[in-house]
Amino acid sequence: MPEMPALLANTLVPWFAKPTRVTTIESLAPRLRRVRFVGDALKGAHFEPGHEVEFRVGPTAFRHYTPTHVDVATGALEVVFFLHGQGPGSAWAEALQPGALVDILGPGGRFVLNREAQHHVLLGDETCLGLFVALLRALPPSANVSGAVEVSPGAEDWPGLVGLPLTAVPRTGPTPRGMALLTWLESSGLEGSTGTTAYLSGHAGSIVMLRKELLERRGFAKRDVRSKAYWADGKRGL
């Protein structure tokens, strides 16, 4: 729920949230931050790679983010924040300081890894870096993984900054979002087959376009395409 009356939030959050403290903040790039939250309440939490958490980013505003991992033994959780600069979530993440007390709702969710797949194809944008780290951490080093992350020109090193062996594809000029990913897909020669699962995330419009390409032109079965929109043009929170 992206918005909630402040009075209701003040009542509900203390009941449901896990209190944590920010212990580490890394500025990976000017608009990319990795933040570590630690709290006893996270110890023993149920976490699956791909699960999301929710932060209260303003008196009435809540936003979703994806832990790269949760260490349920030590109660530590890490999130990679893309600071897109146009909303309260981005501003909140940018203002976080070590020592800050932060309530975390979750983790939970249904977007998870297909552990039966032999080939994992990851496609998304800057908001998905943490998600893709989480999915990859759960796979053996021998896993067959491919994919691309659409970024602004100049941010081609971002997948590498978070340890992802994925291709960065820069957006060019006035082309619609997702076109760089579509071009990558077209040149990849990728075809749907038993054992291949595609994960589409990030910008909602890009997901629609990529999903259509996979299902209608690349022979993917619906069950082999998992998608989760993380943000949409002009929309506040998803």
Ligand X SMILES: Cc1cc2nc3c(=O)[nH]c(=O)nc-3n(C[C@H](O)[C@H](O)[C@H](O)COP(=O)(O)OP(=O)(O)OC[C@H]3O[C@@H](n4cnc5c(N)ncnc54)[C@H](O)[C@@H]3O)c2cc1C
Task: Enumerate binding residues for ligand X (CB under 6 A).
Answer: 52, 57, 63-66, 79-82, 84, 86-90, 127, 130, 230-238
Q: Which residue is nearest to ligand X (CB)?
A: 87
What is each CA distance from 177 to 111, 123, 187, 217, in whole angstroms? 22, 13, 17, 20
Cα separation of 22 and 238, whole Å? 24
Amino acid found at 182: L
Q: How far apart are CA 72 and CA 43, in angstroms?
A: 4
Alpha-carbon separation of residue 150 from 108, 134, 180 (angstroms): 26, 18, 6
Would you state the structure tokens that stand for residue 205, as one six-digit string?
Answer: 């419009």
Q: Give me the least distance between CB of 172 and ligand X, in Å please.
A: 16
What's phi and psi for 176, nearest 5 deg? -60, 155
Q: Which residue lies nearer to ligand X by CB, 82 or 220?
A: 82
Q: Measure the CA–CA gap between 235 and 238, rounded to whole angstroms.
A: 8
- Residue (87 or 188) nearer to ligand X, CB: 87
**Complete edge-to-edge strand list for the sheet that includes strand 67-71:** 62-65, 52-56, 101-108, 18-29, 32-38, 76-82, 67-71
Task: Give least dist CB 179 to ligand X, A.
Answer: 15
Residue with Cβ nearer ligand X (158 or 184): 158
Which CB sits closer to ligand X, 112 or 119? 112
Is the Cβ of residue 65 or residue 190 nearer to ligand X in the bound state? 65
